[in-house]
């Protein structure tokens, strides 16, 4: 964590809440009259912006005045951070890490082979 952000949080930050991942959200009063308040997040673990759920993302970017309530619907999935480049990332069929073979789709496909 950057020392300046931590010091600013201790002296000026007012806690707003915590999400299901343990990220903590803060706000500070504007420096000038009529300005917007400053909003930020202290991540738990690695500093990865995709770990911020949608309800908090809208609050951080001043889209909503308060964090949104998570809808309790059966079709709403749990938020997942971007897993690209990790062991949990999506790997398409035919990728080298899956053996390099993909299911045959058409007879007219001929892979390019260098000479």
Q: Let me know: does 54 contact 80? Beta carbons within 8 Å.
A: no
**Please, how many CA atoms are within 13 Å of residue 112, restricted to the half-sphere of its CB?**
1
pLDDT at 84 (0 to 100): 87
For the segment 79-91, what is each residue's pLDDT rounded down to a tens digit? 888 888 888 888 8
Integer-rounded Cα Rg, in Å, for the chain is 22
By three-state DSSP, how is residue 27 classified?
strand
**Helix, strand or coil for residue 24?**
strand
Q: Give this prediction's pTM.
A: 0.68
CA gap 34, 13 in Å, rounded: 19
Cβ–Cβ < 8 Å for 54, 67? no
Q: pLDDT tens digits, the chain, 115 residues: what are they?
A: 588 888 888 988 999 999 988 999 999 988 778 888 999 999 998 888 888 998 999 999 999 999 888 778 888 888 888 888 888 888 887 787 777 777 767 666 777 889 8
Listed in sequence order, the residues at least 6 apart from 27 whose beta carbon sits closer than 8 Å to its beta carbon are: 13, 14, 16, 37, 38, 39
């Amino acid at each position: 964590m950057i020392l300046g952000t931590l010091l600013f949080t201790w002296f000026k930050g007012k806690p707003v809440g915590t999400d299901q991942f343990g990220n903590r959200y803060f706000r500070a009063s504007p420096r000038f009259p009529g300005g917007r308040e400053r909003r930020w997040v202290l991540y738990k673990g690695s500093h990865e912006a995709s770990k911020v759920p949608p309800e908090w993302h809208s609050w951080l970017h001043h889209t909503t005045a308060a964090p949104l309530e998570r809808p309790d619907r059966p079709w709403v999935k749990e938020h997942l951070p971007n897993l690209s480049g990790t062991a949990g990332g999506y790997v398409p069929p035919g990728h080298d890490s899956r053996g390099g073979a993909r299911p045959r789709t058409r007879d007219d496909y001929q892979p390019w082979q260098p000479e």
